[in-house]
Amino acid sequence: MNSGSQDRKVRKHRVLKSFAFAFSGIRTAVLNERNLQIHFAVSFAVTILGIFFGISKLEWMIILLAIGGMLSLELMNTAIESVVDLATAEYHPLAKQAKDIAAGAVLVYAIISVIIGGVIFLPEILAYLQ
């Protein structure tokens, strides 16, 4: 019986450590990556706009998915860039390709996120200005 209790403690410890590693990675990226800082600032501004305009629950869910996806994708891009930089300090066409494709994925999602923001907030802003 004691063994089962010990196993649960070990699993709980592993889970807590995995969360600590994840938060450490986010912290490191936010402190060191300018693009991620920009995404966080824009996310904060969008959140303020959502509160100000009192957007619906559905609009909040869409906005939160856009924000979460954008931040997650930027974190993945940062991880890919770090791994590529670790693998080679020299120029290599495949290293450039991996970095460019990851950056392209972020750009595509950013464009879609801006369109989502426009669809949700542009009517609100125009109505407010009238």
Return binding residues. Answer: 14, 33, 74, 81, 90-92, 99-100
Q: Check 39, 46, 55, 74 and give the catalytic one.
A: 74
C-alpha span between 116 and 64 (Å, rounded)? 11
C-alpha span between 45 and 114 (Å, rounded)? 13
74 is catalytic: yes
How many CB atoms are located within 10 Å of the residue 116 CB?
17
Annotated binding site for substrate: 14, 74
Buried b / exposed e along 102-114 (16+ C-beta atoms within 10 A): beeebeebbeebe
- Give the relative orientation of helices 2-32 and 34-53 as an angle to the nearest 10 degrees: 100
Annotated binding site for a divalent metal cation: 33, 81
Catalytic residues: 74
